[in-house]
Amino acid sequence: MSVWFRPPDLEALAKQRQDTLVQHLDISFSEIGDDYLRATMPVDETTKQPFGLLHGGASVALAETIGSVAANLAVDTSKFYCVGMEINANHLRPVRAGRVTGTGRPLHVGGKTQVWQIAIHDEADRLICVSRITLAVLDRQT
């Protein structure tokens, strides 16, 4: 069973990137399933830290992007919107090049809060980061 309020559209998500951090980091939504949202990000000069590794903050930005977008796709945005309250990440393995792929899946989709887990893998499908984001579901009228 799908977690989405209405069927998501990858083209519409691509248009929302314009003039945002998502565009600057070249985060691209790549796949939507009934219960997951997937996006990729390059490991390059915009996402590396000074030692040549993927910056942990870039991984968190990818995770927060996936979780926030997914949460908003799971609500009626004419009545509600979701904003991040807390995010954490465990960085498990370094990445020096290529692209990383994050997959977000819901742990809880409630009326006041949502919790999403995002697993980020490298091109060899090794788990490099696991993150969890908690979001508040707010009334649009507020």
Query: Catalytic residue numbers?
Result: 64
**Residues constituting the chain:** 142
| DSSP character at residue 74 | T
Contact yes or no for 37/8 (Cβ under 8 A): yes
**What is the Cα–Cα distance from 5 to 104, expressed in whole angstroms?**
16
Residue 27: phi, psi to the nearest 5?
Answer: -80, 130
| Residue keyed to tokens 């945005």 | 77
Q: Which amino acid would we find at residue 99?
A: R
